[in-house]
Structure 1
Amino acid sequence: MMKSILYNLYKAFKSKRARAMLLCLVSMFSLSAQTPRQDSGANGLNIAQPVMLGFRVPEEFWSREFMIFENGKYTRQTLEKYRGKPLILDFWATWCPSCIAKFPKVDQFKQIYRDRMNFILVNSFDTDTQKVATVLTSEGNGRQPTQTASIVNDVYLKQLFPHQSVPIYIWLDEYGRLQASSTANFLNDDQVRGMVERMKGGKQ
């Protein structure tokens, strides 16, 4: 029986067509082994894993440097100064009128809660930093230039909190745990005040 199987295999691979197919298969596996996977980091991209509801952001969230527009200029900063208090990330884009229309509400909450709650804008869609600066500093449509700092040219945060549309608001508690991902309707005084009042109220 074994001799018969071996003989049939020998006849099969003796043909040129079978040898060509075998060579193609070997080549495919070889290329697959040498081509870096996009999520492996071998191609130089550091793909961040999305944060699940109730879990903390990675330590890199606080220590990574971001380009931030604040007080009329761009600087590179970490988010370390935002650690230890509830934080809302407001994802926006220059082509999103409803995002820009919500800036005054974010500024208002920032003034009301001051050192009890942190807010920061995040732009993950626009690469034109001058255009971003113009939107953030320009008056119009009944609003003043926003007083809230904005991260620009972001890639990392959009990986942590994947989304396709804006505005999207990411709610982190004082321990950096993801509490919610919401639309603009959820950004109201009851929700913001409730999060501030719960601060330090639970176990770490």
Structure 2
Amino acid sequence: MAHQHPIFARVYPALSRAAERGGMTEHRQRLLAGLTGEVIEIGAGNGLNFRHYPPTVTRVVAVEPEHRLRRLAEIAAERAPVPVEVVAGLAEHLPTADASLDAAVVSLVLCSINDPGAALREIRRVLKTGGQLRFLEHVRADTRGIARTQRILDATIWPHLAGGCHTGRDTTATINESGFTIESIDRFWLGNARTPFTRHILGTATPVPREPDHSAG
């Protein structure tokens, strides 16, 4: 499968552990609190979300395209408090039927997907009516100097070094433009430092109801 980033996959576990020490654990818990039923997690990475799923979740399908991270996620799934199935796949082509899932989770992944809008439309496809999208993402800064640095990084070396990651995407706008309504959102800086990597959003969105298809019959 494409989308392999072997060098980044080797360093990502250490980076993610540093983020946990910087306060990410608390935000993961908030991200997943109150979820119920069957959930798909897109870009599961090394599975750091798994231990935070509440017991009201009956099943998690965890999609991860990078084989090294997927193996780490499989190990994490064995210790999860809920059933987790780790599968290979891409966010733009989820291995799930239409309107089959109660919730979808994206955390620190929309920054790296080639076409986040396409991924979000695919997520909308697999969610049931009334389903939820839970998101936790680092995004474009709202300070001019840091936003400028983000633009420079994204246009030069950072995506090549960091597995396709972009530091300055306007993910809030992309969610709104991809068939979702944002129901709640918290904007925060991770830790005390204001850097190109620490501006985040956390929230819940719901799919905009599709118009009925009157073409048949």
TM-score by length of 1: 0.29
TM-score by length of 2: 0.27
User: Where is the strand percentage greater, Structure 1 or Structure 2?
Assistant: 2
| Greater Rg by CA | 1
The structure whose RCO (Cα within 8 Å, separation 6+) is larger is 1
